[in-house]
Structure 1
Amino acid sequence: MTQSLDSFKAKRTLQVGDKSYTYYSIPEAEKNGLTGVSKLPNSLKVVLENLLRFEDGRTVTKEDIQAIADWLGSRKSTHEIAYRPARVLMQDFTGVPAVVDLAAMRDAAVSLGGDPKKVNPLVPVDLVIDHSVMVDYFGTTSAFALNVEREYERNGERYEFLRWGQSAFDNFRAVPPGTGICHQVNLEYLAQTVWTKEENGETIAYPDTLVGTDSHTTMVNGLAVLGWGVGGIEAEAAMLGQPISMLIPEVVGFKLTGELADGITATDLVLTVVEMLRKQGVVGKFVEFYGPGLDNLSLEDEATIANMAPEYGATCGFFPVDGDTIKYLKATGREADRIALVEAYSKAQGMYRESGAAEPVFTDTLELDISNVVPSIAGPKRPQDRISLVDASEGFAKTMADEFKKAGEQGKRAAVEGRDHDLGNGDVVIAAITSCTNTSNPSVLIGAGLVARKALAKGLKVKPWVKTSLAPGSQVVTDYLEKADVQKDLDALGFNLTGYGCTTCIGNSGPLPEEISKSINDNDLVACSVLSGNRNFEGRVNPDVRANYLASPPLVVAYAIAGSLNINVATDALGEDQDGNPVYLKDIWPTTAEITDLIRSSITEEMFEERYGDVFKGDEHWQGIKVEGGMTYGWPAASTYVQNPPYFEGMTMEPTPLTDIEDAAVMGLFLDSITTDHISPAGAIKADSPAGEYLASHQVAAKDFNSFGSRRGNHQVMMRGTFGNIRIKNQMVPGVEGGYTMKDGQQRWIYDACMEYKDAGTPLVVFAGKEYGTGSSRDWAAKGTKLLGVRAVIAQSFERIHRSNLVGMGVLPFTFKEGESWQSHGIEGTEKVTILGVADLKPRQMVNIQVEFANGTKKDIEVLCRIDTEDELEYIKAGGILHYVLRNLVTS
C-alpha cells in the first residue's frame, strides 16, 4: 500500500492494551472537512475508511472521499469509486477456473516477454474446497467415508492442480476437502472483523473486507465483515491488485423490532426478509439491518439473514459490530488481542452498535416486527416465493395446476419396481439438511435433532422413498450434535453425515435410487425436494425433481416423515404412534427454551480451537497428493478437468481496436429470471448432451462424468454446457426445454449452432427479459457466453454480478427502455442485428441498434449501454479485465 495522501488528516494511532495500531479515523476526518459522516450507515463507513486509507490522488482522490460525505444530501450517488477489499475468498467450483486463469496468465506473461512471477496474488486468498462432495451414499454410518473416497476418485486431477497452486502462488492458501463450507469456515475462523497488516514498521488496523467467488460470501456480513460475491474474473483482478470499480451504493435500512415467537426459526425469518426485500427492489444496493430487534437475535441468526442477500437481490446485508459480535469472536476461539482490537477499533470509529443510539441515515427504510413471523417454506423454484406453512399443501396444488398443467393429478400414483410402495405426484424424494445458510446456525440444527428425537419417541419413521442427507458446514457441527446426543437420533431417521460441504443446494444431491428415478420419469411425476438451502432454481437440485422447497432443518425432518407436499404438515397428522394415535407437528416440535438450553450445554470454545487448529493440513487423502510443476503449470494433455483456456491466444501488447457488431444472428430469446444456473448449469452432465458426448469421446464413462461445477477448469466441457440447463426455455424453440436454438429453420444444440456461426464469422446476440443472470456469481455464465461468440446481450434488466462478469469478459450488456422488450419490438429470432459506434461507446450511453427482420424491413431500437464506469470501458477496450491486468503486470 502506498502512503495515503491523507487530505482529511485522518491518520491516527490507537492504543489497545500494550499494542499500538495505525488507523484512519472517521471522527477525525469529520472534524477536518467531511461534515456529517458520523451519520453514515456503518457499511458506508467501511467504504469511507477504505478510501481514506488508499487515497493516492489517482485511483482514489480527495473528491472521491468527499463524494461519500456528499451522499448524505441525496442519499444516493452516481459517483464512481475504486474500492480495495482486504482479501479474497473462493470455493473450488469457482476457484479452480480462477486459478486456471492465473496459471494461463503466467504462460501468457512468458509469451509476451514478461516475468511469470508477477502474476501472483497481492492480497491474501483463501480457497476452501467445499463444492465437490456429492451425496452418492446416504442413510448409513459409512456414507461419509464412502462419499469422501468417491470425491477423491472423481476430483484427483483438480486437487492435484490446486495443490500445485498452493505451492506455486504466494498469498494463497487452500483449505482441504472435508473441512466445511467456505462461508461457514469464513464465519467461524478466517474472518477477523478488524484486519491488520504490517507495513513500514507499523501495524495498520482496518475493517475486514473481502470479495468472494461465491454469491453467498455475504454471510460474513453477519460478523460485520463487509463482503459480497463477484465473478471469478473480478476476483482475479482484485487478487492482482486491481481496485473494484463501483458506484457509491444506495443503502436501504431494514429496521427489526420485536422478538421471534416461540418455536419460530431463523429460516422462517430469513424467508420473510427475502420476500420483503425482493418486493422492495434492492438490486445493486447495500441493505443494513438496525433496530431493537437485533438485541433478540443471535449472531448466527444475523449470519443466516446476511447469507441470503443474493436471494433478496442486494449486494450485501450488513450487521454492525455489537456485543454479540464480541461474544461470538470469543466463543469461536479468536485470539484475545484480536477481540480487544475489534471492540476498541469499532468504538473509536463510531461503528459499534449501542442500544438506543441515534439511527444512521439511509436511502430508504422498511420495517419488520419479527414477532409476526410465521413458519414458512419457499418454492417451488424461487427463494423469494415464500409460503406460510399452513398454506403449503394448497400452494403445491396451485403449482400443479399453474406450473405443471396437472390440475387434479395430485392423487396420481405409480408402482416402483422391486419395492413394496408406490410413488406419486408431490412425494418428497429428497430431504436434505444442507447449505451454509442454515448449517452455520446451531439453533436450527439442534432443533432438527430434537425433532428427530421426539419423532423417534413417538415411533415415527421416514418414508421409504425419501433420500435423506446431512451435510454440515463445518466439523464443529458434528461435535456439538454428538455432545447434545441428537446425532444418534438423526442417524436413526437416515440423516447420517454425508459430507462437509455444499451438496444438495449446489446440485450435488447425487442420483436418486434407480427404481425411484425410473418411476418418476416413466410416469411423468412431479417429485419434490425439501432442503435447508438458499437455492431452489429449476433443474438445480436434481434432474428428476421438478419442485423444490426451501425450509428450516427441523421442517426438513418433518417433511421426510410426512413424505409429501400434499400433506399439510402444519395441521395434518404426520403419522401414527405405537398405539395408532395420530402424531402432529406440534407434538414433536421443540420449544425455543429447549433448543437454547441444549446449545448452552453442548457448544464450547475448545471445539472451534481444536477443529481449526491445523485447518490447512487435510486428511491422508489430501496429504497423499503429489505436487508437480514449478512457476508455470505443466498442462496435462489428457486431462478432462483442467485445460489451458484460450483467452490469451494471439494476444499482443496492444489491444485490438473494438469493432462494430454487424449483421449478428440471434442465438437466444429468453424470458424473465434467467439464472446463471440456466446459462451455466452446475449439476449433472447428461450423456446425450454436447458436453456428455465430448466426455464420452475422451473415454470418460457416464458414471464418472461428475458435474459441470467440478469441470469448470476445462473450457471444452463448459462451452458445451453454456445455455445447456435441462430446464432453460429458448423462446426461439417454443415448447422445448434444454439447450436448443433454431438455425436455418432447424432445431439445433446451441453449442453446435454457435460453432457454425463462429466458423462463418457471424457474431451473435442474445435477447432476454428482466433479472437476467440472477443467482450464483458464476463466471462461466459470462465466459461461456464469450467463447460461444456472443458479442452483446440485450435484456430488460441484469442482476449485478452477471452484468459485471459480461463486461469482464468483453461482452457488451444493453438494457431496453422502461416498458420495452424484445416482444414489444416483435423480435422472433430470425433477425439480423447491427450495433454501430461500438468503438466510441461511453459509460451508460444511449445506443441505437438496428434490427433487420426476415422480410427485409428494418427498425431502430434505442437501448442503454450498461458499461457503467470508465474502468469498465477500459476493460472492454482491452478485450476483458484479465487482458487489461496482464498487460499492466507485464509492463510494470
Structure 2
Amino acid sequence: MPSLNSLNSRQTLTVGDKTYEYFSLPQAAKKLGSLDKLPMSLKVLLENLLRWEDDKTVTGHDIQALVDWLKTRSSEREIQYRPARVLMQDFTGVPAVVDLAAMRAAMAKAGGDPQKINPLSPVDLVIDHSVMVDKFATTSAFEQNVEIEMQRNGERYAFLRWGQNAFDNFSVVPPGTGICHQVNLEYLGRTVWTKEEDGHTFAFPDTLVGTDSHTTMINGLGVLGWGVGGIEAEAAMLGQPVSMLIPEVIGFKLSGKLKEGITATDLVLTVTQMLRKKGVVGKFVEFYGDGLATLPLADRATIANMAPEYGATCGFFPVDDITLDYLRLSGRPDATVELVEAYSKAQGLWREPGHEPLFTDALALDMGTVEASLAGPKRPQDRVALPAVSQAFDDFLGLQVKPASTEDGRLLNEGGGGTAIHDDSLVGGASYEFEGKTHRLQHGAVVIAAITSCTNTSNPSVMMAAGLLAKKAVEKGLQRKPWVKSSLAPGSKVVTDYYNAAGLTQYLDTLGFDLVGYGCTTCIGNSGPLPEPIEKAIQQSDLTVASVLSGNRNFEGRVHPLVKTNWLASPPLVVAYALAGSVRMNLSEDALGTGKDGKPVYLRDIWPSQAEIAEAVQKVDTKMFHKEYAEVFAGDEKWQAIEVPDADTYEWQADSTYIQHPPFFERINEAPPKIGNIADARILALLGDSVTTDHISPAGNIKASSPAGRYLREHGVEPQDFNSYGSRRGNHEVMMRGTFANIRIRNEMLGGEEGGNTLHVPSGEKLAIYDASMRYQQEGTPLVVVAGKEYGTGSSRDWAAKGTNLLGVKAVLAESFERIHRSNLVGMGVLALQFKDGQNRKSLGLTGRETLSIGGLDNVELKPLMHLPLTLTREDGKQEQFEVLCRIDTLNEVEYFRAGGILHYVLRQLIAG
C-alpha cells in the first residue's frame, strides 16, 4: 500500500491483543474539513484513496475532490479505486480464467515469465451457474442433477481445477455448495478486511468487484462492492485500478416496519419500482433512517441484491448492531466481529440513530405501506400488486394475440391461442396426456414454480414462510397442479439444515419442491426442459404460459424459451401459485383449491403469521454455518477425483468444444494498430429500447439449427449434449455464433420480427447475424449496431462485448448505455457512441440499409467524452452529417482503447516490464 500519507492519517487501532494499522478518516478530516455528513459509501472510497495515495494514480486533488463533493453533491472527477478482492461465478469466471491462460501463453511466446500473469488480489470463484433442473419432484433430484452436471461440465471443471493449482490467490468453491452471493454473504465477506504487509497488519473496509451484477448483495453487510465485466475484473486481479467517476449518491430513507403478511420480497419489489422511476443508473444508492433498526440483515441483503434491477451501481447499508449480530450468527470469529465494531466506530462508518448524511437527492418509504406484490411479466421493475396480477397478464396477452371471430361467436387467435373472452375452457387451451391422465393447459398456466436465486434463498424469513405455507397446504389436503414444474434450489446448504431443523422439508417435498441443487438454476435460464407433452401443448396451441420464481430477473427468453411471461415473487407466493396453477386467478380472493374436507381453501387460510415465521427462524443456528463452511473449498469425492496436469501454462485441446484458445492476443508482439476512422460501415442490427445483455450475450439453450448448433454438430456433439451457452463460455467459436442470437431479440431491419437474424444489405438475403457478420468481414466491410435507450441493461456479461468484437462490430450507437456494458465494449476495443439529445434511430428514419462513417478518430488526440462527426449515407446516396458523443468516459479508457482493449493494455505492460 504505497501511501504517501500526506494527511498524516495513518494511525494504529488496538482490538483485544491485536494492533492494526489503518488510515483514519477523522485524522484526515483535521486537514480536509468535517466528513460527518459525507455518505458512508463515499467514506469507503475516501479511505481507499488515502490508503493508495501515490501522487500518480491517486493524488491529493483526488482526495480533495471527494471532500468537495459535499458542496456540489456530484463530481466530474475520475478516481482510481482498488477493491480488496474479486468474486466470480463460473459462467463469467471460466472465460476470465481462459483469458488469463491465454495471457500466460502469450507471455511465454514472447519469452517472458508466465508466472507474471497471476492474480494480485484474492479471487474466489464459486461454481453455481451450471446445475440445471433436469430432474424434479423426486427425492433423488439433487443427486441426479449433480451427476448430470458433472458429466456435462467435466472439461470446464478440469480447467478450473488446473487454474486453482496454477494461479496464486485463486480459490474455487466446488459445485453443489451454493450461490456465489450467498456464499459471499454467509462466509467470504468480512466487512473489515486485513492484510499483512512489511510486518504490519493493516485494517480497511472490505471491498470487492464481482463478475456478476448481483455482487451488490454484499452491500447489505456494509461491504462496498458491485458487478463489473469479466474484462474489468481480470484487470483488477492483475493490479489495475478500477477507473470511475465520483458518483452521485441517492439516499433512500426507510421508516416504519412491514405489516403482518408482507415479506422482504414485497419490500424489495417496491423499492425497485421506486428507484427505477427515480432514475439511479450509474449512481450509488445508500439506505438510511431509523427504520433500519427493524430491518434484519437478510432483508437488507435482499434489497441490496437487486441494485442492478433498480439500475444503481450499488445499494449500500451502513454497519450497525444488526450487522454484528449477523456476523456472529453466520459463524464469523469473535475477533472479526470485535474488529468490525471497533474499526467502524473509529472511522465514522457506524450508523447512529437519527444520522442523516447529505445526498445528491433522496426519497423515502414508510415500510408500513408496502403491499403483497409480484413483478412481471418481463421486467423486474414492473411491480404488480397481488390482486392485479390476473389483469396484468390479460393485458399482456391482449398485446400478444389478435382475436378473430368464428361463426359461433367465440374469439380465437389465428395461431391457435386466444384472449380470455367467453368460455375459457374452449378458448386458448390444449389438452395433453401426462402420466396416464388427461389435462387441459390454458393461457396463464403456471408451468414453472421455482424457489431459486440468491435474492430470496439467503433470507430465512421468506424461506421459512414458504415451508410453513407448504405445511399448512399439505395439512389442508392441497397439491400442486400437475402441469407445474416445481423446484427448490437454495443458495446455501444452510437452508437445507434449517428446513430439516424446523421439520418443513417433508411438506415441501410433498408439494414437489424437492431439492434440485444448490445454484442459480431457473433464475439464469437453467430451468431445464418441461415435460414433453407440456412443451408440445404450448407449441401446438401457441399458448402464453407463465413461470413464477423467487429470482431477480424475468427478461424475455431468460427462464425458458417457451414461457413468455415470468413473474418474480416471494418464496411463499411461489408455492401458492404452484397450488393455484394459473396467474389468471386473484389469489387474494379466489380459492387455491379444494381441501380434503371438501371446502375451498384460500391463501389467507394457509398464510403463516409473523409470529410463526419468527419462531421458525429461531431454528437457524450458528452451528449450521460452521458445519457447511468447514471445508468449503474441498468439494466432494467427484470434484477431488478430477485429474489435472501440474503446469504453469494450460495444455489446450484442439478437439475441445468447451475450452478453446481465444484469438484476442494473437498479435500482442506487434505494435497496437493505429486508431482510424470508420468508413462506410453497414448496420448489423437495428434495435429498440431496453435491449439487455440477455438479448446480446449467448445464454440459455442452444438451438440445433442455430450457427452455434451447426458448429457443435460439425464437431460431433449431438443436440442432447449441447448443454447451455453459459457452460460453453470458454469456447469463443460457440459464443460468437450465439451473440445477438436470442430468440426474443427484435431486429427492426426485418420489421421487428423475433430471432437473431438480419439483412445482408448488398444481397438482400435474410441471414443469421453470425452468418451475415462473416460475409461482411469477408467483404472487408466494417459493422455497427444501432439501438435505443438503456442498451446493455442486465447482468455483467463480458461475452456481450467480446462477441460484439468478434463479429466485426467497430461501434455501437445507442441513445443511452447501461454502465457495465458500455465499459466492457470500450474494454474490448469497440467504440461506444451515443446520440445527442433529440436524435435517435426513429427521428433519423433509419431502416438499416444505410451506411455510417465516423470521423475524428485519426490524427487527433482522443479525449474522454469527445464529440465525433458522423456521416449517414441513405440508400439513394443522399448524405446527412451530425455529431455523436463518444462514450469513452475516462482517461484510463482512452489508454485501454488505444491498446486494443484493457487486457491488451495490461499484457503489453507486463511483457515490457
**2:779 corresponds to which of 745, 755, 760:** 760
CA–CA separation in structure 1 for the residues paired with 2:86 and 2:786: 33
Deviation at 1:570, TM superposition (A): 1.4
Deviation at 1:36, TM superposition (A): 2.5
> Is 2:392 the counterpart of 1:385?
no
Paired letter, 1:68: L
**1:882 corresponds to which of 896, 903, 909:** 903
Contact kept? 1:847, 1:864, Cα under 8 Å: yes
1:390-405 aligned at under 5 Å gives the runs 390-405=387-402
Aligned to 2:432: 416
CA–CA separation in structure 2 for the residues paired with 1:487 and 1:296: 29
- Give 3-state SS (helix, strand or coil) of 2:803's partner: helix
Contact kept? 1:815, 1:866, Cα under 8 Å: yes
Aligned to 2:579: 561
1:462-861 aligned at under 5 Å gives the runs 462-600=480-618, 602-743=619-760, 744-839=763-858, 840=860, 841-861=862-882
Deviation at 1:714, TM superposition (A): 0.2
- Give 3-state SS (helix, strand or coil) of 1:732's partner: helix
Paired letter, 1:6: N
Deviation at 1:403, TM superposition (A): 4.3
Deviation at 1:141, TM superposition (A): 0.3
CA–CA separation in structure 1 for the residues paired with 2:246 and 2:12: 28
**2:361 corresponds to which of 355, 364, 373:** 364
- Give 3-state SS (helix, strand or coil) of 2:747's partner: coil
- Give 3-state SS (helix, strand or coil) of 2:268's partner: helix
What does the per-residue CA deviation read over 1:266-323, in whole Å, with 9 as the maximum and x for residues that have no partner? 0000000000000000000000000011111100000000000000000000000000
Paired letter, 1:5: L
CA–CA separation in structure 1 for the residues paired with 2:734 and 2:449: 30
CA–CA separation in structure 2 for the residues paired with 1:542 and 1:674: 18
Runs of 4+ in 1 over 3 A off after TM superposition: 403-411
1:75-114 aligned at under 5 Å gives the runs 75-114=73-112
CA–CA separation in structure 2 for the residues paired with 1:509 and 1:671: 27
CA–CA separation in structure 2 for the residues paired with 1:861 and 1:796: 14
Paired letter, 1:820: Q
Contact kept? 2:165, 2:646, Cα under 8 Å: no
Deviation at 1:417, TM superposition (A): 3.7
What does the per-residue CA deviation read over 1:224-258, in whole Å, with 9 as the maximum and x for residues that have no partner? 00000000000000000000000000000000001
What does the per-residue CA deviation read over 1:590-642, in whole Å, with 9 as the maximum and x for residues that have no partner? 11111011111x11111101110110000011011001250100001111000
- Give 3-state SS (helix, strand or coil) of 1:88's partner: strand
CA–CA separation in structure 2 for the residues paired with 1:626 and 1:95: 20
CA–CA separation in structure 1 for the residues paired with 2:752 and 2:686: 13
State the aligned residue count.
888
CA–CA separation in structure 2 for the residues paired with 1:113 and 1:50: 36
**1:456 corresponds to which of 467, 474, 492:** 474
> Is 2:891 the counterpart of 1:870?
yes
- Give 3-state SS (helix, strand or coil) of 1:777's partner: coil
- Give 3-state SS (helix, strand or coil) of 1:37's partner: coil
- Give 3-state SS (helix, strand or coil) of 1:538's partner: coil
- Give 3-state SS (helix, strand or coil) of 2:28's partner: helix
What does the per-residue CA deviation read over 1:720-772, in whole Å, with 9 as the maximum and x for residues that have no partner? 00000010001101142111000121211000010111111111001000000
Contact kept? 1:30, 1:38, Cα under 8 Å: no
Deviation at 1:651, TM superposition (A): 2.1
TM-score normalised by length of structure 1: 0.99
TM-score normalised by length of structure 2: 0.97
Contact kept? 2:250, 2:362, Cα under 8 Å: yes
Q: Relative to structure 2, which stretch is displaced further, 178-187 or 411-420?
A: 411-420
Paired letter, 2:245: L
Paired letter, 1:408: A
What does the per-residue CA deviation read over 1:826-855, in whole Å, with 9 as the maximum and x for residues that have no partner? 111111110112133321111111110110
CA–CA separation in structure 2 for the residues paired with 1:718 and 1:604: 43
Aligned to 1:26: 25
What does the per-residue CA deviation read over 1:131-168, in whole Å, with 9 as the maximum and x for residues that have no partner? 00000000000000000000000000000000000000
Paired letter, 2:876: N
Deviation at 1:649, TM superposition (A): 1.2
Deviation at 1:422, TM superposition (A): 1.2
Paired letter, 2:99: D
What does the per-residue CA deviation read over 1:517-540, in whole Å, with 9 as the maximum and x for residues that have no partner? 000001100011000000000000
CA–CA separation in structure 2 for the residues paired with 1:644 and 1:55: 38
CA–CA separation in structure 2 for the residues paired with 1:189 and 1:336: 14
CA–CA separation in structure 2 for the residues paired with 1:189 and 1:579: 46
- Give 3-state SS (helix, strand or coil) of 2:749's partner: coil
Q: Relative to structure 2, which stretch is displaced further, 860-869 or 87-96?
A: 860-869
CA–CA separation in structure 2 for the residues paired with 1:726 and 1:866: 29
Paired letter, 1:855: D
CA–CA separation in structure 2 for the residues paired with 1:760 and 1:399: 43
What does the per-residue CA deviation read over 1:691-738, in whole Å, with 9 as the maximum and x for residues that have no partner? 111111111111111111110000000000000001000110114211
Deviation at 1:650, TM superposition (A): 2.0
Deviation at 1:571, TM superposition (A): 1.1
Contact kept? 1:122, 1:240, Cα under 8 Å: yes
1:74-153 aligned at under 5 Å gives the runs 74-153=72-151
Paired letter, 1:565: V
CA–CA separation in structure 2 for the residues paired with 1:550 and 1:332: 27
Deviation at 1:653, TM superposition (A): 4.9
Contact kept? 1:193, 1:342, Cα under 8 Å: yes
Paired letter, 2:387: V
Q: Relative to structure 2, which stretch is displaced further, 527-536 or 681-690?
A: 681-690
Aligned to 2:16: 17
CA–CA separation in structure 1 for the residues paired with 2:814 and 2:748: 14
Deviation at 1:510, TM superposition (A): 0.3
- Give 3-state SS (helix, strand or coil) of 1:785's partner: helix
CA–CA separation in structure 2 for the residues paired with 1:36 and 1:694: 62
CA–CA separation in structure 2 for the residues paired with 1:206 and 1:403: 53
Deviation at 1:569, TM superposition (A): 1.0
- Give 3-state SS (helix, strand or coil) of 1:666's partner: strand
Relative distance call for 1:736 and 1:474 in structure 2 (3 A) is: same
Aligned to 2:178: 180
> Is 2:446 the counterpart of 1:428?
yes
CA–CA separation in structure 2 for the residues paired with 1:720 and 1:247: 35
Paired letter, 1:26: L
**1:254 corresponds to which of 252, 255, 263:** 252
Contact kept? 1:112, 1:653, Cα under 8 Å: no
Paired letter, 2:342: A
**1:439 corresponds to which of 442, 451, 457:** 457
CA–CA separation in structure 1 for the residues paired with 2:790 and 2:419: 29
Paired letter, 2:716: Q
- Give 3-state SS (helix, strand or coil) of 1:416's partner: strand
Paired letter, 1:439: T
Taking only the aligned residue pairs, the percentage that are identical comes to: 65
CA–CA separation in structure 2 for the residues paired with 1:585 and 1:323: 36
- Give 3-state SS (helix, strand or coil) of 1:47's partner: helix
CA–CA separation in structure 2 for the residues paired with 1:425 and 1:264: 28
Q: Relative to structure 2, which stretch is displaced further, 164-173 or 759-768?
A: 759-768
Deviation at 1:675, TM superposition (A): 0.3
- Give 3-state SS (helix, strand or coil) of 1:330's partner: helix
- Give 3-state SS (helix, strand or coil) of 2:447's partner: strand
CA–CA separation in structure 2 for the residues paired with 1:198 and 1:783: 37
Paired letter, 1:71: W
